[in-house]
Each structure stands twice: as structure tokens, then as C-alpha cells.
Amino acid sequence: MKYHLTYSLLFLILLVAACNTKKKTDESIRQAETLFPKGEELNSKNFTGTVWLYMMGARDSTLHARFGNVTFAPKASTNWHSHPGGQILFITEGKGYYQAKGQPARLLHKGDVVEIPRNVVHWHGAAPDSEFAHIAISLNADEGGAVWLGPVTDEEYDSSIMQ
């Protein structure tokens, strides 16, 4: 009887250990899939829809670059805006768009890079049916932060992505 109890206990311990290992593996896979942390949900009037931001790097850096990981829920986007010092986007997840004012929208996938010249009015955001994430690097940040304009209207969004 005592013999059986010992083996039952041992089995239980091994089962708990196995479950813990599986949980850790799941977390590792999820982190590997997102590449960079999703960060905090943004509460900003300069974006439409649900957006998460994870800023990286030191604020007082003499490199004058501000960079972070931005994740957009489906259809979420920035407002129209421009960057006095320019910006580079490295797409890391999903499907989305970049549009410079007066130009056709550019469809973007994981692995695409967008170079945004100084002072070009534009927006970036997710496709209607996909999350979208990019690393955004704002350059020459000592020359000023983003200049924010109005939201991308539903009409602008719909006509942009149909092109």
C-alpha cells in the first residue's frame, strides 16, 4: 500500500513538472512570434483604433533617434502626420499600409521597409483583416517630434486600400 502511494505521488510530481514545461514553451513561442514586446496600449488622439507601443532606447541619446515597436489592431492607424527629421519603418508582423498624401497607398508585409522623407504628410496602419506591427525609427529627433494632423477618414481609408 505504501509502495503504491509513493509511486502515485511520484507520478503526480512528474505530471505537474511536465505541465510547467509546456507552459514555459508556449510563452517562448509567443515571444518568438512577436519578436519585440507589444508594450502598452496607447491612449492618444493621434491614432484611430487600438494601438500598442513599446519604446526602446534612451531618451537623452546623442544619436537623436527615437525608436519603438508599434502594433496596430485590424484597421487601426495613425492620423495624418509628418516627421521634420524623417522616419524609417521596418515591418515585423502582418499586413498594412503606408500612404503619402496624394500618392497611392503602398501595401506592406513582414520584411518590408519604408523610408519616409522629411516633412512628407502620410499615415501608416493595419489592413482591415490583419494586425500589423512595425519598428518605427524617427530620425533627427532633435529637429522636432511628429507634426500631427487630422484622422484618416473612413472614406480616405477605404479608397486608399482599394487602389
Place of cell 486600400: 161
Q: How far apart are CA 112 and CA 135, in angstroms?
A: 11
Residue 25 CB, nearest approach to Mn ion (Å): 37
Residues binding Mn ion (CB under 5 A) = 87
Burial 4-39 (b: 16+ CB within 10 A, else e): eeeeeeeeeeeeeeeeeeeeeeeeeeeeeeeebeeb
Quick one: 23 or 101, whose CB is closer to Mn ion? Answer: 101
Quick one: 19 or 67, whose CB is closer to Mn ion? Answer: 67
Residue 15 CB, nearest approach to Mn ion (Å): 51
Quick one: 120 or 161, whose CB is closer to Mn ion? Answer: 120
Place of cell 498624401: 101
- Within 10 angstroms of residue 104's Cβ, the number of other Cβ atoms is 10
Quick one: 85 or 94, whose CB is closer to Mn ion? Answer: 85
At 120, which amino acid appears?
Answer: V
Quick one: 77 or 87, whose CB is closer to Mn ion? Answer: 87
Q: How far is CA 116 from the centre of its chain?
A: 17
Residue 110 CB, nearest approach to Mn ion (Å): 18
Residue 39 CB, nearest approach to Mn ion (Å): 17
Residue 14 CB, nearest approach to Mn ion (Å): 52
- State which residue has the least CB distance to Mn ion: 87
> What residues pair up with 94 in beta bridges, in sequence order?
132
